[in-house]
Structure 1
């Protein structure tokens, strides 16, 4: 006797079959809590970050003053700068060397240099020059502040000049404002974007590579073989991430070569220092990706966690939007992310010629992040073994 024929689905749609598949997928989604959380948290995080943290018009930019004249005119100009809300006079220095050090370390965005006898020369009608220096590595961070600054000479001394020296409508300003856009005089956007791309590309690729490493072993069933070997967890971790350090070095070489040959981005500082600190940054991201791989139960979850880390890194590091334009709470979060510190390092070395001492704050932050991330990765892997 022939076997009975299997029942076939009736032609056309069937609400009962649709409902069965729908219930099956809903149950599977409910069990996969991590994926469900990502579906909810990622759009919520995007909404909060774009709504509250992103600001393309930063104000209260840190400013230093080299004041060689203590006249009323000098004080009026500094007060007028502060009144624009774009400048926060935070430091008073006594030499140009101090200004240079502050710019190299990224501690200030602007500097004002008021020359000797500035007030006397104005009263004598000599039209003295007043120098304002802007850190132009990120043109979008200083553009509006510069525009506000250029409006000051027409009105700043309207109340200070009296009698024959009084300012009249349509008359030329009593002093010359000289603006120096340091490190990027032409305001080329690519000088800011291209070095930052090295950090974002390395972050994404290193997270994904290592985020999939352990979960791939589990899904293929080769993890049990690996665990049966007399190897310590830290040795497994170092063995797994070491090849990706080489991959990151190759990516770094390609990006640096392309940025120099095609986009003309200079490398003013030490290439050796840049390579060493980029390697440190690569290790930081590999440690994070390895931690994700020990938490995730599938490659899909590892990818989801990698993107969940990558998204705030893109938005809160200063790559896409000015870092100083964000609210304080967003800056605190950004300071935790390794990409924030690496962007300062790579732009400082390539565009400013900064040295290790100038970048010490960001280098120490990267070292601390690597130590914490690797410690968490090893601890998580031990839990996975148990």
Structure 2
């Protein structure tokens, strides 16, 4: 069985080449052919020694993900559905803008976190993607788009790990993929332009700050634990105070001097003036310890199984104004690709659920949201289980 070379960052590829009896500089040449030029056929890699090409034919291959479908939105957004085997499919989205091209990449087939407002979470979880499956999404998109616009220049300037899955629950595959994205011999992306979005896996946030610090976005969605427990179940293990401390620690290593907090606006759930006040209080308390952040308010993209509705635009704007008047940098995300189900929270792919998440989430749809009057903000919660 041959080895898929998309599974390696440059260091891993160098080790592989050394195993074939080749010098490390050959790995750099090979890495450039694969990632900068999009080559999958070793015979076309003209500056590689013929003896090496013969070895590669016997020991290696470059495995793109089979493309199932492509959908193009009226606003130019493109969504691709890829087959990752065993009945599972994942989605990736390219978002073109005047000053950038952003690719949203999946890290898992499904998601085990089960956030109430995310269609991927409602679908359940099948498995982690490999490094090669993560990188294959970028490999395909970059070189497909170059052919489409007939350019040798880089088309994708930004990558966001905001597709299907929780990236930090697939850490061992994520980090080599990030390193390949950042490598000047690969895609040469800036650390500031590669973003990992997490629902708050605190220990992995701390590890990422040392292993491969890139821009960090945290799916916040609630200003206090009682509400966030219901919206983002991972909060029961890593409550807000611990999450804020992890964000503060990450800033010492981050390429940007702020953490982005994503906040999905849910009608009557987390969008009231009292919620904005509680959010301001949360940030200001931790700002005294070094927290610097900006908010990205996200219009919810409804789907029937969620039992949730989008906040009215007037309420979203009022919420943003309240945060801004308190000195918090706040933007409202422009919805892109919603006509092809490619907007934030809509990616669902097709996975074989191993978690029975739909039945568990159905039980939560009738829950009553905890009233603000029942919440105490002054002390962090201490009722979480010890972490492994």
After TM superposition, the score normalised by the length of structure 2 is: 0.26
Higher helix proportion, which one? Answer: 1
After TM superposition, the score normalised by the length of structure 1 is: 0.26
